[in-house]
Amino acid sequence: MKFLEDVKIGDVLMTGRHVFNADEIKSFANRYDPQLFHVDEEAAARSHFGALCASGWHTAAAWMRLYVDHTRAEHDAMRARGEKIPAVGPALGLRELKWLKPVYVGDAIDYKSEVTDVRVSNSRPGFGLMTLLTTGTNQNGVLAISFISTTFLQRHPETP
Amino acid sequence: MKFLEDVKIGDVLMTGRHVFNADEIKSFANRYDPQLFHVDEEAAARSHFGALCASGWHTAAAWMRLYVDHTRAEHDAMRARGEKIPAVGPALGLRELKWLKPVYVGDAIDYKSEVTDVRVSNSRPGFGLMTLLTTGTNQNGVLAISFISTTFLQRHPETP
């Protein structure tokens, strides 16, 4: 992520793809969401989902990991060019998180974030607020997850 | 969770307390949110957080685990009394998830959910929709996380 002044409404971040395998689905769910359809193939087959599928929290957390990796790679590239790296402030939260389709074993989810708002922060000098609409789409082009998030982002130090 | 007809607006579920220790904070974050202030004490001390703190996704996932355990215990008790167990439909998503205070090592978060809406589903016969306002409050009484979630819940089979 660049400084606030480098970001504009409509910018799109392709944060990457995550393929959900059974081991990881069960490992996450055993720790954080042990409903039977997330941890047991046979019970999942008898459930309303029809097969083992990932916890919704897992499908969100997988995006976070890709986003952190994406940001780190961007900062590494900026550092290599001798550029300053912006400080990343805390995330404020989410709006309208929707789990639209189950994510089954083998599903490949492509995550994409679009900048929908950029503004200067009144409460935190030197920072602005960036709002992203993030979607996760499966290999059949079907939307599986979407949410809106807002995060503090540093303003460029040279901005008056 | 009981059948839809057994739930009313204002009902409160005390889902329990989770204490966040450093190993678990780092374990979750190394996998899903490896920002330095979630995985490295020294880097966290230099960050805007001032100390190692849990990923926001971790503070939400910890609630999910307590909620699943709470529901399972309730269903076990109903089964022991010879009562029918309601089917739990999919969660639709969340609104207004707010990370209000960082969750540091040793913080004990008490999670509580209040029923804010109950209604019959138009799209899924035999089911209704239950909306919960969930809060997580730390040992000093400070709100750390809150969100609104909506989940399908089976109607009582004998309801006409």
A25 vs A102: CA distance, rounded Å: 12
In a domain, B160, yes or no: no
What Cα–Cα distance (Å) separates residue B90 from each residue in A47, A99, A101, A125, A147?
10, 9, 10, 42, 17
From residue A33, alpha-carbon distances to A16, A156, B23, B101 in Å are 24, 41, 19, 23
Residue B8 counted as domain residue: yes
Going A6 to A7 to A9 to A14, the CA torsion angle's sign is positive
Is A160 among the domain residues?
no
List the domain range (segments joined by +) for residue B89.
Answer: 4-154
Specify the higher pLDDT residue, A131 or B2: A131
Domain-located, residue B77: yes
Spell out which residues of chain A touch residue B56, defining contact as CB-CB under 8 Å.
91, 93
pLDDT confidence tier of residue A69, bands split at 50, 70 and 90? very high
The two counts, helices (H) then strands (E), for chain B are 4, 5
Vertex A86: Cα angle to A82 and A88 (nearest 5): 145
Shortest CA distance from A53: residue in chain B: B90
Contact A123/A9 with Cβ under 8 angstroms? no
A94-103, pLDDT tens digit by residue?
999 999 999 9
A88 touching chain B per CB within 8 A: yes
Which among B55, B92, B97 has CB closest to A99? B92
ipTM confidence = 0.91
Q: Is the pLDDT of residue B157 over 60?
A: yes
The answer to whether A64 contacts B32, with C-beta atoms less than 8 Å apart, is: yes
List the structure tokens of B56: 């926001």
pLDDT at A160 over 60: no
Task: Let me know: does B67 contact B118? Beta carbons within 8 Å.
Answer: no
Distance CA(A142)–CA(A136), nearest Å, equals 9
Any B CB within 8 A of A151 CB: no
d(CA B135, CA A45): 33
User: Which of B94, B101, B124, B149 is the best residue to mutate to test the A interface, defined by the most A CB atoms within 10 Å of its own CB?
Assistant: B94
| pLDDT tier for residue B160 given thresholds of 50, 70 and 90 | low
Q: DSSP of A140-160, one letter per residue? A: TS-EEEEEEEEEEEEPPTT--
The pLDDT of residue B141? 98
Do B68 and A102 lie within an 8 Å CB cutoff? no
Residues of B in contact with A34 (CB under 8 A): 65, 68
In a domain, A136, yes or no: yes
From residue B43, give the alpha-carbon distance in Å to each of A12, A48, A73: 30, 45, 18
List Cα–Cα distances, A142 to A25, A55, A133, B10, B98, in angstroms.
Answer: 20, 17, 16, 37, 28
Q: What is the full DSSP assignment across A2-57?
A: --GGG--TT-EEEEEEEE--HHHHHHHHHHH---HHHH-HHHHHHSTT-S-B--HH
- Is the confidence at residue A141, as pLDDT, over 90? yes
d(CA A157, CA A72): 20
Total Cβ atoms within 10 A of residue B74 = 15
- Report, in angstroms and rounded to the nearest whole number, the Rg of chain A calculated over CA atoms: 18
Confidence at A159, pLDDT banded by 50, 70, 90: low
Q: Is A31 on the interface with B (CB under 8 A)?
A: yes
Please report, for the domain that includes residue B122, its CATH number.
3.10.129.10
pLDDT confidence of residue B91:
82
Asked if the structure places residue B159 within a domain, the reply is no
Q: Do B88 and A35 touch (CB under 8 A)?
A: yes
**Chain A interface, mutation test: which of B38, B57, B152, most A Cβ atoms within 10 Å?**
B57
Phi, psi of B22 (to 5 degrees): -65, -40
More confident of the two residues B90 and B102: B102
Interface residue of B26, B35, B53, B131 to substitute, partner A, most A CBs within 10 Å: B35
Distance (Å) from the C-alpha of residue B160 to the closest C-alpha of chain A?
Answer: 23
Residue B115 lies in a domain: yes
For residue A18, give the chain B residue with the closest CA: B32
Suggest the residue from A27, A94, A127, A129 to mutate for an interface test with chain B (most B CBs closer than 10 A).
Answer: A94
Residue A130 has pLDDT above 60, yes or no: yes
Quote the pTM value. Answer: 0.93
Confidence bin at B11 (pLDDT 50/70/90): very high
Instruction: Look at chain A and report how many structural domains it folds into.
Output: 1
Q: What digits encode the pLDDT tens for the residues A70-86? A: 999 999 999 999 998 88
Give the pLDDT band (50/70/90) at residue A87.
confident
Higher local confidence (pLDDT), B57 or A91: B57
Q: pLDDT at position A1, please?
A: 63
* Residue B53 forms part of a structural domain: yes
Q: How many angstroms separate the CA atoms of A94 and A96, rounded?
A: 7
In three-state secondary structure terms, B38 is helix
Chain A residue with CA closest to B145: the answer is A93
Q: What is the pLDDT of residue B16?
A: 96
B112-141 pLDDT, tens digit per residue, is 999 999 999 888 888 899 999 999 999 999
% of chain A exceeding 90 in pLDDT? 77
